[in-house]
Chains A and B, each alone.
Chain A
Amino acid sequence: MIDLEALISSELERMLPLPDGRRASWEDVLARSGRRPRAGVRRRALALVAAAAAVVLIAVTTPVGAAILDGVGGFAAWIAGRPGTPAPPTAQQAFEQANERSWSSFAPGTELRRLIETTVGGTSYTLYGFRSGDELCLRLTASTISAASTHCAPVSALQTATEPALVVAADEPFGTTNEPPNAQGYVAPAASASFGIVSDGVAHVLVHADDGSHDALVASNAFLYVADHPQAGVRVRSVDAIAGDGAKVALPFESAPYGMADLAQPPTGSPRGPAHVDRKVSGGTIGWLDQRQPRGVPLPDELKQIPMVHDLIFGRLLQPDPQSSDRIALELVGSIPAPPSAPAQPGPLLCTTLVGGGHIGLSGGCGRFADFFKHSPMHVGLTGSGSDQFLLLDGIVSDDIAKVTVFFASGASVDPPLSDNVFLSRAARASFPIRVVGYDSQQRVIAIQTFRDDGMTNPAPPEARKSIRERFRVTAADGTTAIVSAGDPAGGYRCWSISYGNGGAQEGGCTPWPLTDTITKGNPLLLIGATRTGDDVFLGGQVPADVASVTVSYPDGTTDHATTQDGYAVYAIPAAQLASGGATVALRAYDAQGTLLAQRGLAIKR
């Protein structure tokens, strides 16, 4: 007798073991959804290093930038933590109360400074600034919205700046409107804000967005631009700083992502730093964790409430850089929440949780502790939201690693403090590609992890991404709709999406264009698939440009035409054809002269 269930379970487990959760990032989900992360998980910047001596800068200063910047002295007010004027007592008190409520907070005694006030669309906005440890933070409040938006940059970003200003956040959405979602399902915000830090020599900041160029407000060594009721998807594309004498400098900048298609282009620079390991290391461990040594501080109760660590065996909260309030928790857990019959994970699991600015669970994941360093003695994660210009690198290393260096595309590098086998560091989105290198105690390279981009890029050129618009829609008998949106082909790519009804089904992206025989394997109908949404089944997908019509034939002899337009074919299968539980349909593609180009059978089941 064969125990099929057990056999299948074990073999499938062997084929594809449960992956570790290192890639998990809720903030990335939020960024992809086009929403700003909820107030409880706003990410703050991490100080990279306390001393400028820890930063090795090789980049060449641009003459114009240097002329405006006039050395780090141009940022003196920020470095001293005293830009602008003191915040009103009520604002300072509100900030302190919010800070005290959290067990992980900005440094005690942090002084809030008022930088810029403005009113846009009937809402008053106030930009505050403060320095907390080695972080420089901007906090924007709006009179009609209770939550404040806080974004930070490391002090080292100013200490090594070659440009006279620094964009800290872009297109941060504020509030929502009552307008219906667009074809891609997005609702425009009531306002969106971009802001940053400027040096003494900067007189103007020009923000170039999809809807034109705008003068930002500049005061108190900061700039602020608030777009009132922008259309969904309107993004800032570049930012210039202008000196009193008219000299202009383009600031390092990456646009905030929008949807599946509107992503920045991948960086063109090359990764710096060592590209090969000197010694291959595998199977390391974290000794203190294995021996349950009480490093760092105990896990706070709030952190223990995360479902992932409900079966906690041992955990500690670590602060690798004492100048930063960002922390990382390492937890050994017996199991993670899963249905009782799920395959058991042998041995304890090592879970990580990022903590910053008084908030927990920025990102994290789990992996089997015994195998954690099986393939590499270093694991580095990247966390960020779409509006942030600085992303957080979090790393866990085995005892084999003695030092970590982060190499930026500019040639600059930084050695983040490494303590208790963890490190945290910041990277500007404009500084990619970056390479993180781990060294052993003899300065040999034993681990390399390269991030070619920040995870929010797409190679399609801007004109392909910006031109996406609704092309046509197909409605099923019950009113459910499939909406086809596509941009103009450019640079070998076309950006598109097909959104099916309200069931959450959507396909698309920026994909190679035109569709050649190589892509379709010689069958123009290859990319058409069936998608179920609610009670409906749609056929839909891309077709090559020479396909003028697509027919759908049923066994009962009836034939319908799919809506075929602009390189896409979509068709709603009548419910009657699926009444028996499914149907086998014949798809046929014809050119404009009615010549049959291809046919394909497709079995569809309900």
Chain B
Amino acid sequence: MSEIESVYRSRYREFLRVATAIVGDEATAHDAVQDAFAQALKQRASFRGDGPLEAWIWRVVVNAARGARRRQVARREVPEDADATASTNGEGRDESGVRAWVAALPERQRLVVYLRYYADLDYRAIATVLEIEVGTVSATLSAAHRALRRSLEEVRR
């Protein structure tokens, strides 16, 4: 079994979940994941080994999902800034405010959140996937957490 196939078989569901969070529906997300892995297979030779292979694959999947979402925006006339999380499987009220918090995040911060909590990647892996510094990941999550804490405390008052 190739490394890429192994990553696919063991982590498909996490890839699908992150892609679904980005794209907004599971069928399109599955398509993006499948295309991304096909892309990874074709461009395996271009992986430079400057980080974990899985992080490189995550990057390909995230790019594919973002591309799918962009096309979906055009096809389905979804407002550009409508957040993908609005169409996920969530049910019930947003009592904690977390959904609103996620929806309000800039795309980059939102991707960091998805990769941290849905894919359970560590800061270094997230940095590799998004091609940003580890410190930027840390700062992004800290800023996002601060924003959430403020909003929660405001609600409590």
Contacts and interface: CB of A to CB of B under 8 A. Distances in A.
Contact of A260 (B13, B35, B75, B113): B35
A511 B74 CA distance: 9
Contact of A307 (B10, B56, B98): B10
B90 A16 contact: yes
A511 B76 CA distance: 12
Contacts of B67: 506-508, 529
A19 B16 contact: yes
A24 interface: yes
Interface centre among B37, B40, B77, B98 (most CB of A within 10 A): B98
B61 to A, nearest CB: 9
Contacts of B60: 503-505
Interface in A351-403: 361, 365-366
Interface centre among A14, A15, A512, A515 (most CB of B within 10 A): A15
B9 interface: yes
A34 B17 CA distance: 25
Contacts of A529: 66-67, 70
Interface stretch (A84-92, A336-344, A467-475, A555-563): A336-344
B70 A24 contact: no
Contacts of A512: 74-75
Contacts of B34: 25, 28-29, 32
Interface centre among A20, A260, A505, A535 (most CB of B within 10 A): A505
A107 interface: no
Interface stretch (A1-9, A214-222, A424-432, A591-599): A1-9
Contacts of A503: 43, 46, 59-60
A339 B6 contact: no
A526 B145 contact: no
B17 A19 contact: yes
Interface in B124-157: 130-133, 136, 145, 148-149, 152-153
Nearest to B15: A24
A531 interface: yes
A23 interface: yes
A338 B11 contact: yes
Given A29-B37, A33-B42, A20 B13 contact: yes
Contacts of B121: 339
A24 B8 contact: yes
Contacts of B104: none
Interface in A474-504: 502-504
Interface in A512-554: 512, 515, 518-521, 526-527, 529, 531-532, 534-535, 541-542
A19 B13 CA distance: 6
Contacts of B102: 12, 15
A186 B10 contact: no
B145 A4 contact: yes
A202 to B, nearest CB: 36
Contact of A11 (B8, B99, B108, B131): B99
B74 A526 contact: yes
B69 to A, nearest CB: 9
A113 interface: no
A306 B37 CA distance: 19
B42 A185 contact: yes
B46 A511 contact: no
Contacts of A186: 42
Contacts of A518: 77
B117 A12 contact: yes
B132 A339 contact: no
A280 interface: no
Contacts of A507: 63-64, 67, 70-71
Contact of A504 (B8, B40, B89, B152): B40
Given A29-B37, A504-B39, A16 B70 contact: no
Contacts of B21: 16
Given A33-B38, A511-B71, A15 B9 contact: no
B96 to A, nearest CB: 5
A15 B21 CA distance: 9
A521 B148 contact: no
Interface centre among B1, B2, B75 (most CB of A within 10 A): B1
B154 to A, nearest CB: 12
Contact of A531 (B40, B63, B133): B63
Contact of A308 (B9, B37, B79): B9
A8 B42 contact: no
Nearest to A260: B35
A327 interface: no
Nearest to B30: A23
Contact of B75 (A2, A28, A34, A511): A511
Contacts of A508: 67
A521 B80 contact: yes
B106 interface: yes
Contacts of B70: 507, 527, 529, 541
6 contacts: A16-B17, A30-B38, A181-B42, A504-B63, A527-B70, A541-B70
Interface of B: 1-2, 5-6, 8-14, 16-17, 20-21, 26, 30, 34-43, 46-47, 56, 59-60, 63-64, 66-67, 70-71, 73-75, 77, 79-80, 85, 88-92, 96, 98-99, 102, 106, 108, 113, 117-118, 120-121, 130-133, 136, 145, 148-149, 152-153
Given A26-B9, A507-B64, 15 more contacts: A7-B98, A15-B90, A19-B17, A21-B12, A23-B30, A33-B37, A181-B42, A336-B10, A338-B11, A361-B9, A365-B13, A504-B59, A512-B74, A526-B74, A606-B131
| Nearest 8 CB-CB pairings of A with B | A502-B46, A507-B67, A32-B38, A11-B98, A33-B38, A15-B90, A504-B60, A337-B10
